Amino acid sequence: MPEPDQRPEAVALAYDTVAATYAALLPDTRAETPLELAVLDAFVAAVGPGARVLDAGCGTGRITRYLADRGLAVRGADLSPGMIAMAREHQPDLSFEVAPLTRLPHEDASLDGVVLWYSTIHTPRDGQERIWAEARRVLRPGGHLVVAFQAGTGTRDTAPSHRRHGHEVTLLRYRFTADEVASWCAGAGLVETARMVRAPVGSEVDDQAVLLARVGA
C-alpha cells in the first residue's frame, strides 16, 4: 500500500478538516502533564519577560495563549488556514499567520525564541533538516528553542483517532528518538541544554519528549 500523501498541502487540508473538533477537544494545556509545562516554563524563563517568540505550527493557539499569559511577546504561525481561523476566533487578542515551518514569516536573527510544540511530527526524515535550519535562521544569537514530539521509531496512522470524531483524514505521524532530534538541532547550530522523555500516560501510546536548545557560539 502506498504511503499517504504527506506533502504540506495535504497536511494542511487534513488539519483544515479537523480544526473545529481540535479546538473543542483541546482548548488549552489540559493535555500536557506537569512535566511538559515545567519545560515550557523553563523556556519562558530562558528567553525572559517580553521576549519575541514564534509558536511555529501553533494549531489553534493554545500554547500561544499559555506563553502570552506568561509575559512573552508571542505570535503564532501554522500551515493550516483552518487551524489559524480557530486560533484567531479563540485567541482574538493574539496575532496569527498562515505559514509552514520551512518558510517562517520573520527576518533573519529577529526572534528570541521559537516553539515547535508537536509541530514537526508530520514531516518525514528527509524534511527534518530544513525545519531546523529555518528555525535557526530566525533566531538571534543566544536565542532559545523548545520542541515537543512523540519519541520512538516508525510511523503512526492517525486516521483511526480522527475517525472516532467523524473525520476521514489520512495523516501519518513520524516518530524519532530524542538523540535524532538533538542531532538535527546540532546540525543547525543549536546546542541542546535539557531534555525530558517520559513514558506514555492515559490513552497515549508513545513516549513523549521535550528538548530545550539555544543558538550556539
pLDDT at 75: 98
- pLDDT of res. 161: 64
Is residue 2 a part of any domain in this protein?
no
pTM (2 d.p.): 0.92
Confidence tier at 11 by pLDDT (50, 70, 90):
confident
pLDDT in tens, 93-142: 999 999 999 999 999 999 999 999 999 999 999 999 999 999 999 999 99
pLDDT confidence of residue 10: 80
Determine the average pLDDT of the residues in 5-34. Answer: 86
User: 126 lies in a domain?
Assistant: yes
Alpha-carbon dihedral angle through residues 47, 200, 64, 16, given to the nearest 10 degrees: 140
Q: How large is the average pLDDT for residues 193-207? A: 94
Reply yes or no on whether the pLDDT at 7 is more than 90. Answer: no
In a domain, 69, yes or no: yes
User: pLDDT digit string (tens) for 29-79?
Assistant: 999 999 999 999 999 999 999 999 999 999 999 999 999 999 999 999 999
**Between 204 and 161, the higher pLDDT residue:** 204
Is 152 within a domain?
yes
Q: How many domains does the chain have?
A: 1
pLDDT at 1: 44
Phi and psi angles of residue 159, each rounded to the nearest 5 degrees, phi first = -55, -45
Here the CATH number for the domain that contains residue 117 is 3.40.50.150
Lowest mean pLDDT among 58-67, 77-86, 155-164: 155-164
Give the mean pLDDT of 70-89: 97
Q: Is the pLDDT of residue 2 over 60?
A: no
Of 46, 78, 40, whose CA–CA distance to 59 is shortest? 78
Domain carrying residue 15: 8-215
The answer to whether residue 1 sits within a structural domain is: no
What is the pLDDT of the chain when averaged over all its residues? 92
**Once rounded to an integer, what is the mean pLDDT over residues 86-96?**
97
Long-range pairs for 62-67: beta carbons < 8 A, 24 or more residues apart: 62/26, 62/27, 62/28, 62/29, 63/29, 63/115, 63/117, 64/91, 64/94, 64/96, 65/28, 65/91, 65/94, 66/28, 66/29, 66/37, 66/40, 67/40, 67/115
